[in-house]
Amino acid sequence: MKMKIYRLLLCFITVISLLLCSFFDNNFLTSVQAAAGFEIKYTGFSGKYTKSNVAFTVNGKDIDLGTTPGLLLSNNAMGSYVDVFKKGLRATCKYDSETKKLTIEKFGNTVELTLNKKTAYVNGKKKTMEVPVRKVTFVSQDKSQIMVPVRFVCEKLGYKYTWNKSKQCGTITYDWLELKINSKWMKYEGTKVKSSYNGKNISYGDMPGIILGGISYVNARKVFEKTLGAEFSYDSESKQLTLKKDKKTVVYCLETNNVIVNGQTETVSSQALKVKNFITSSYYYMVPARHAANALGYQYDWDRASGTSKVSDVVVDPEKVPGTVVTQGAISFELPDGVDRDKITDTDVYYSNKFYLTFAGDYTEFYEKHSIQVSDPVIKDYKVTTISSGKTRITFYTTKLQGYRIEVNNGICNIVVGNPKDIYKNIVVLDCGHGGYDPGAQGGGYSEKNITYSILYTQAKKYFNSSTSSVKAYWSRHDDTFVSLSDRASFASKVGADLFISLHMNSATNTEASGTEVFYSSSNNKTLSNGLSSKIMANLFEESLVKLLETKKRGVKTANYTVIYSNTVPAVLIEFGFISNSSDRELMIDETVQKKAAKEIYNVTSSIFEKYPTGR
């Protein structure tokens, strides 16, 4: 009897042991291993690691570190860049095993690190870290990881980072929405739109409404299917989203501006969207709230103060209510009789976060009676004034640099506002070398800063800002102001540029030196998916300008000038000619030559976008 009890007890212990072994995962075993100490190696150290394992979370969700935990080195939480940033935060990461350089990029912010060094570059600006990047070998696993100071990189990429001492965990948080819209990830920091039906709030769950290009988008299922009782369907093959209610049918063709309303195809300024939320890992189908509501026979109103898309059963004909308009963009307003799109000029004062429209006549009283509707909080204010020439100017002030598109239909002016890349197909930054207290090279009583400004701003803007231009240009400086090299380079990222062109004048002690040369950086010469690289771009400008100016061809060369080396897009630096050479200088200061050069720079830029399209 005792023997049977003993055997039963032995079997029970064996089963429990097996269950426990299957229960404990690799992370638990690693934790036990850490408590006992385990062997690691990196430059300058080889021995036991006896401190706690470090974990990381992003918005409360654990980051999977596999079998190589985070470490505390010099009181800094270090984590594998692959696990934390590439996989955990979906950042773009590139490590060059030859140069030992690691580049981490997310939403326009770039952090450049070098193995075993404390020096880092954040958007081109030099920074010093408390601890260097380390290549750590976990001996028992025979596995090496490039470990980076997680707090430093997170904060430079725009995330919030806090240290939970009791849990030995680095917590990463952010308050924006990380969304994948029509196959492209974006950082959404705009209004989280609410919705209501007949005055009652609609519960959204994990995915609020959003505003893109001045259009309010809402969850089609939550608002129109669950709340209003419409039929919802989506065909993944045709990419068509359908809403049906009573005898009305609306079919949105995703990734296009085509909508079929009750069998009739129309083109609208908004698209239905397939959106993935990074945190929930779920997809949502979003439709333009006003268009969908109106097409199904409902009244729609936008409450700017609360950020609410309001849907109600009462339908009102806008034509019967004086002073009201149907808003299709971030801004919408009536135009006085006789004012159409051809009579409106617009000016982008992007460096002051504003833009304005101007047209002939004094219409200040008109706009006291006819309100201007604003449906996007990025427009913080507007002002209607009469300028000295007897024209009306409407100025719009934005909270940050924005692109815009003006559409006029049936006497209504709608302005769609958004990040430049969401508005423009082709974007270039034009960089007039030097400026302010930095005159650049000098010769014959002339300064480099003035010549570059005259060619690339005064003359070139006539072409880039013309009504027929297919290229949106931003200038790193718009007057005689000093702008640091790092700020010039990072400006391309700020405006979402596709290309960067810097213009300079050369100089030499040998006054016989002459000719045109174009530089690019070999460190910023990756070939884009459309086939373009900085080197290709440099060759195109060199060939074209030398042929036009009939200057000596000095060739295409490489150099690590900050404005091209620290850039995020294909970038070139053009040395127009030698200001120290009398013949070259005569060309530089000739207004006719300046106009020709400016036009050629525009023509080459346009041709680059035609041959190497952005895909937007």
The mean predicted confidence, pLDDT, of the chain is 88
Q: Which residue has the higher pLDDT, 186 or 476?
A: 476
Query: Contact at 8 Å (CB) between 363 and 444?
Result: no
For residue 418, pLDDT beyond 50? yes
DSSP string, 95-160: EETTTTEEEEEETTEEEEEEBT--EEEETTEEEE-SS-BEEEEEGGGTEEEEEEEHHHHHHHTT-E
pLDDT value of position 125: 87
Q: Which domains does the chain have, with CATH numbers?
A: 39-175 (3.30.457.10), 180-315 (3.30.457.10), 331-422 (no CATH), 424-611 (3.40.630.40)
What letters, b where the CB count within 10 A reaches 16 and e where it falls short, cover 202-216?
Answer: bebeebbbbbbbbbb
pLDDT value of position 228: 93
d(CA 307, CA 174): 21
pLDDT digits (tens, 9 = 90+) for 69-89: 999 999 999 999 999 999 999
Query: Contact at 8 Å (CB) between 430 and 541?
Result: no
Mean pLDDT of 525-550: 94
pLDDT value of position 320: 38
370 token code pair: 């006819």
Report the DSSP beta bridge partners of residue 73: 76
Nearest to 253 by CA among 262, 244, 266: 266
- How far the first Cα of the chain sits from its last, in Å, is 82
For residue 177, pLDDT beyond 60? yes
pLDDT value of position 327: 40
Percent of the chain exceeding pLDDT 90 equals 69
For residue 212, pLDDT beyond 50? yes
pLDDT digits (tens, 9 = 90+) for 8-34: 444 544 444 444 444 333 443 344 344
pTM for this entry: 0.56
Q: Which residue has the higher pLDDT, 212 or 244?
A: 244
Rounded to the nearest 10 degrees, how much is the dihedral formed by the CA atoms of 18, 22, 26, 31? Answer: -50
pLDDT digits (tens, 9 = 90+) for 435-481: 999 999 999 999 999 999 999 999 999 999 998 999 999 999 999 99
Apex CA 330: angle with CA 325 and CA 331, to 5°?
A: 50
HSE, side-chain direction, 13 A CA sphere, residue 195? 31
pLDDT interval class at 7 (50, 70, 90): low
For residue 326, pLDDT beyond 70? no
pLDDT interval class at 314 (50, 70, 90): low
